[in-house]
Amino acid sequence: MTVGPGTETQGEGIRRRNSAKGASRREAILAAAMHRFSKEGYQSAAIADVAKDAGLSLPGLLHHFPTKVDLLLAILDKRDLESSAAIDKDQANWHAFLLGLIQVAKYNTGIPEVVRAFAILNAESLTQNHPAKVWFGNRAQQLQANIAAKLEDGVLRGEVKRDVDCPAIAAEVIAMMDGLQMLWLRDPTSFDMVGAIAGYIERLIQDLQASPPIRA
């Protein structure tokens, strides 16, 4: 039988429903795992408890994520994808890119549990043989390279001072944001992370800005 445009076979409808159901279950698993990891850390959290929190049997969870490492890496990738949505990484202007980091901070204040889990995993990844060690190492290097590249582009455009050590400033930005985020995680009700990061970024932009050429 020929299937015309806009029609759907019974098999296609079942596959679509199963696909949506599977995606919903994956999201529930990731949310449950994020919650567990934020409370107990990756090393201490039991994958069986994650399955229970998600309303699944352990085999049901393992159908979607065969190992605890697979679950961890899926969480990290999801977190990075959501975070990158708060800023356009391809913006050509270094000034706009730095201001975009303030938007990332604002976005993070709305997902404290996710940020806490990510921070804990980042710290845990410093231990020997941690499954996310390479992931976080590569991420840190790439993030520093991305920020440095934006600043170097600003230097070439004559917008950033020529004597700026772009990789060093990039490392400073990462360290400052991570440090302020840690203070916020310890006491989110009394520490204004967004305000602190905004103040830092604004001062940094003023410091990096090249002086306009003197006209005769």
pLDDT given at position 202: 97
Whether residue 106 contacts residue 194, with contact meaning beta carbons closer than 8 Å, is answered with: yes
Rg (CA), the chain: 22
pLDDT given at position 7: 53
Domain with CATH 1.10.357 in the chain: 86-210
Domain with CATH 1.10.10.60 in the chain: 11-75
CA distance 12 to 30: 27
Tens of each residue's pLDDT in the chain, 216 residues: 334 445 555 555 545 555 777 788 999 999 999 888 888 888 888 999 999 999 999 999 999 999 988 998 898 888 777 766 656 555 568 999 999 999 999 988 988 888 888 898 899 899 888 888 999 999 999 999 999 999 999 999 999 999 999 999 999 999 999 999 999 999 999 999 999 999 999 999 999 999 875 554
Nearest Cα neighbor of 22 from 82, 64, 68 is 64
Report, at the CATH architecture level, how domain 11-75 is classified: Orthogonal Bundle (1.10)
Class of domain 86-210: mainly alpha
CA distance 92 to 73: 30
Nearest Cα neighbor of 113 from 178, 50, 32 is 32
Whether residue 155 contacts residue 95, with contact meaning beta carbons closer than 8 Å, is answered with: no
How many C-beta atoms lie closer than 10 Å to residue 163's C-beta? 6
